[in-house]
């Protein structure tokens, strides 16, 4: 069977790929938006995990061909690329934040579904080990780098796909050159030094897509509203995150519209009409310095507790305030290797682009408070006073 894809053209699916495609878990991905609430800012960004997973499969198949792996290894790579996101909850990374607070990730639920009866049967009958697929999506071994590495099929497809559907031009990468240039050496996926610019292009695309699309201020505020609505729903209806991982976007929306939780229902109803909260307070690293913002992260405590304290201080309903605690940036070692004069060197050592990208993580580190649009001016001063007193910042 051939599918027409706007990013890769015709993609062929056959045998075990169709068996995976027809499972209820894979079909659920049709109803899980890839970019959550990004379509409130970029209206055409309504694509799903379903087509992304098929696109990743197409890239994995090409990667396998260029690396000249065995037919069995190719099957395992293609299966892993189709299944790597099968554990994503509704609205993708929005529910992922709720998972994280309970010490889970979508990968944990992907593993459960792959080892569950429905998917494992589809794999086993085609001679593919579910445990091998799990190993690949965890990035283990040489071939795991193709599924979950710094240059992997997931990242290449989502950059191209997200740019296409959002309508921005930042996700253009030379995926074909990158795949053709790859080989294994000393257990690492490596690239010829002359292909450095193609690799930098991929990293640059991700760097530019982050503030433009993934962390656009309107998207971040909408996602925080849904994140808190989900938490309120789980608490009120005594659900757990495993229940959440089985839902799709439609399931979650239906639960939020019918729930007896006032706050969850309120936040969801605002999102339904694109009545997104505005920022009434912001304290960022550039303003107070990195050392102080790290102190704020350590001292602030849980967001919902601060919201309760803040709402009591202002004498307003808790449902009208959202606290977005800053994340603690981590310098991530970029595991991309170049072959140079017979040896291996890290792209990070060779590239000013890599070093600049690592430094840029501080740009989005900020404490923010969101409130209804018509209250933003009213709340600005009292919220500012509250945090000046609580945190000792001016």
Neighbours of 318 (CB within 10 A): 18
Residue 394 has what pLDDT? 65
Per-residue pLDDT of the chain (394 residues; tens, 9 = 90+): 999 999 999 999 999 999 999 999 999 999 999 999 999 999 999 999 999 999 999 999 999 999 999 999 999 999 999 999 999 999 999 999 999 999 999 999 999 999 999 999 999 999 999 999 999 999 999 999 999 999 999 999 999 999 999 999 888 899 999 999 999 999 999 999 999 999 999 999 998 999 999 999 999 999 999 999 999 999 999 999 999 999 999 999 999 999 999 999 999 999 999 999 999 999 988 888 888 888 888 888 899 999 999 999 999 999 999 999 988 877 777 889 999 887 899 998 888 888 777 777 777 889 999 999 999 999 999 999 999 998 887 6
CATH of 2-167, one of 3.50.50.60, 1.10.3210.10, 3.40.50.720, 1.10.10.10: 1.10.3210.10
Backbone angles phi, psi at 190, to 5 degrees: -125, 165
Residue 156 has what pLDDT? 97
Alpha-carbon span 236 to 242, nearest angstrom: 16
Q: Which residue of the set 88, 106, 170, 216 is catalytic?
A: 106
| 106 is annotated as an active-site residue | yes
Q: Residue holding tokens 């593993």?
A: 111
Residue 319 has what pLDDT? 95
Predicted TM-score (pTM) of the model is 0.94
CA 353 to centroid of chain Cα atoms: 22
Q: Where are the domains of the chain?
A: 2-167, 277-328+365-394
Give, in order, the Cα–Cα distances in Å from 373 to each of 171, 268, 358, 369.
Answer: 32, 15, 34, 12
Residue 287 has what pLDDT? 83
Residue 295 has what pLDDT? 87
Contacts for 372 with CB less than 8 Å, ≥ 6 apart: 270, 275, 277, 278, 320
* Residue 31 Rama label (left phi>0; alpha psi -120 to 50; beta): alpha
Residue 291 has what pLDDT? 87
**Three-class secondary structure of residue 194 per DSSP:** helix
Backbone angles phi, psi at 323, to 5 degrees: -100, 130
CA 49 to centroid of chain Cα atoms: 11
Residue 93 has what pLDDT? 92
Alpha-carbon span 169 to 159, nearest angstrom: 10
């Amino acid at each position: 069977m051939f599918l027409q894809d706007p990013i890769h053209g015709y993609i062929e699916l056959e045998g075990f790929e169709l068996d995976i495609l027809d499972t209820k878990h894979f079909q659920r991905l049709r109803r899980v938006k890839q970019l959550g609430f990004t379509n409130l800012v970029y209206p055409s960004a309504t694509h799903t995990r379903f087509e992304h997973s098929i696109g990743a499969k197409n890239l994995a198949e090409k990667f396998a061909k260029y690396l000249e792996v065995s037919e069995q290894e190719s099957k395992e790579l293609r299966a892993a690329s189709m299944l790597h996101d099968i554990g994503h909850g509704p609205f993708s990374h929005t529910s992922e934040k709720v998972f994280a607070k309970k010490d889970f990730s979508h990968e944990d639920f992907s593993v459960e579904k792959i080892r569950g009866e429905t998917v494992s049967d589809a794999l086993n009958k085609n001679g593919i080990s579910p445990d091998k697929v799990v190993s690949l999506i965890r990035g283990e071994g040489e071939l795991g780098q193709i599924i979950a590495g710094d240059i992997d099929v997931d990242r290449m497809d989502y950059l191209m796909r997200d740019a296409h559907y959002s309508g921005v031009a930042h996700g253009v990468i030379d995926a074909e050159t990158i795949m053709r240039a790859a080989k294994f050496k000393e257990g690492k996926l490596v690239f010829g030094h002359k292909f450095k610019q193609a690799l930098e292009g991929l990293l640059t695309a991700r760097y530019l897509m982050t503030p433009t699309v993934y962390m656009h201020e309107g998207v971040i505020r909408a996602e925080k509203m849904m994140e808190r609505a989900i938490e309120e729903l789980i608490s009120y209806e005594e659900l757990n995150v495993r229940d959440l991982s089985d839902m799709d976007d439609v399931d979650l929306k239906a639960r939020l519209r019918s729930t007896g939780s006032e706050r969850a229902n309120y936040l969801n109803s605002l999102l339904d009409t694109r009545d997104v909260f505005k920022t009434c307070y912001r304290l960022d690293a550039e303003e107070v310095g990195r050392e102080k913002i790290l102190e704020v992260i350590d001292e602030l405590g849980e967001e919902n507790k601060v919201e309760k304290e803040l709402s009591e201080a202002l004498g307003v309903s808790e449902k009208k305030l959202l606290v977005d605690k800053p994340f603690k940036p981590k310098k991530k070692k970029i595991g991309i290797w170049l072959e140079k004069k017979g040896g291996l060197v890290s792209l990070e050592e060779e590239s000013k682009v890599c070093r600049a990208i690592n430094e840029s993580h501080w740009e989005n580190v900020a404490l923010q408070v969101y409130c209804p649009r018509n209250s933003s001016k009213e709340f600005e001063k009292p919220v500012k006073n509250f945090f000046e007193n609580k945190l000792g910042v001016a």
